[in-house]
C-alpha cells in the first residue's frame, strides 16, 4: 500500500512538473504579447504554490519559490522596458507636434514681415514650447518613480516568500 502511495506521488509530481513547464511556456508567450498578462502570470504562480503546499513537497516548494522570483524579476524588467518604449513613442509624437507648431509660426512670420513686434511675440511662443518640453521631462521622472515603487513592491513580495519558506522548513 505504501509503495502504491509513493508511486502515485511520484506520478503526481511528474505531471505537476509537466504542467508547470507548459504553463511557463504559455506565460512567456503571453508576456511577449501584452503586459497585462504579467499579473495573470503571477496569479498562476501563486496557484501552483498552493498546490505544492497541499502536496507538502518542501523541495518542490523551494524550486517554485525560485521560479517565482525569477518570474518577478523578469516581469519587472519587462515592465520597465515597456514603459521606456512607450515614453519614447510619446516623445516622438510630441516632437512631431512641435514641428507642426514651428511650421505654423513660420507661416505667421511670412504674414507679418512688416511688424517687428509680432515677430517678438512669436519668439515668446517658442519659449513656451520649451517650457512644455520641460514638463515632458517631469513626466518622465514620475514614471521613474513608479518603477521604483514597483521595485519596492516586488522586493517586499520576495521577502514574504522567503519568510514563508522559512516557516515551512
Query: Rounded CA gap, 55 and 80, in Å?
Result: 36
* pTM, entire model: 0.27
- Angle between helical axes of 58-111 and 2-33 (0-180°, round to 10): 10
**Cβ atoms 48, 20 nearer than 8 A:** yes
Q: How do residues 50-100 score in pLDDT, each as one tens digit?
A: 555 555 566 666 666 666 666 666 666 666 776 665 555 555 555 555 555
Query: Rounded CA gap, 89 and 87, in Å?
Result: 5
What sign for the dihedral angle of Cα 142, 143, 149, 151?
Answer: negative
Q: How do residues 134-146 score in pLDDT, each as one tens digit?
A: 555 555 555 566 7
Amino acid at each position: 500500500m505504501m509503495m502504491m502511495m509513493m508511486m502515485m506521488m511520484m506520478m503526481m509530481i511528474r505531471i505537476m512538473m509537466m504542467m508547470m513547464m507548459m504553463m511557463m511556456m504559455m506565460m512567456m508567450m503571453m508576456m511577449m504579447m501584452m503586459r497585462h498578462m504579467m499579473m495573470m502570470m503571477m496569479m498562476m504562480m501563486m496557484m501552483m504554490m498552493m498546490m505544492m503546499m497541499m502536496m507538502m513537497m518542501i523541495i518542490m516548494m523551494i524550486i517554485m519559490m525560485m521560479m517565482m522570483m525569477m518570474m518577478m524579476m523578469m516581469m519587472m524588467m519587462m515592465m520597465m522596458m515597456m514603459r521606456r518604449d512607450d515614453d519614447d513613442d510619446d516623445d516622438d509624437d510630441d516632437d512631431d507636434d512641435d514641428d507642426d507648431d514651428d511650421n505654423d509660426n513660420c507661416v505667421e512670420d511670412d504674414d507679418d514681415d512688416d511688424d517687428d513686434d509680432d515677430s517678438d511675440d512669436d519668439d515668446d511662443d517658442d519659449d513656451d514650447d520649451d517650457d512644455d518640453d520641460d514638463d515632458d521631462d517631469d513626466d518622465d521622472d514620475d514614471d521613474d518613480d513608479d518603477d521604483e515603487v514597483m521595485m519596492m513592491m516586488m522586493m517586499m513580495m520576495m521577502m514574504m516568500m522567503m519568510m514563508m519558506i522559512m516557516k515551512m522548513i
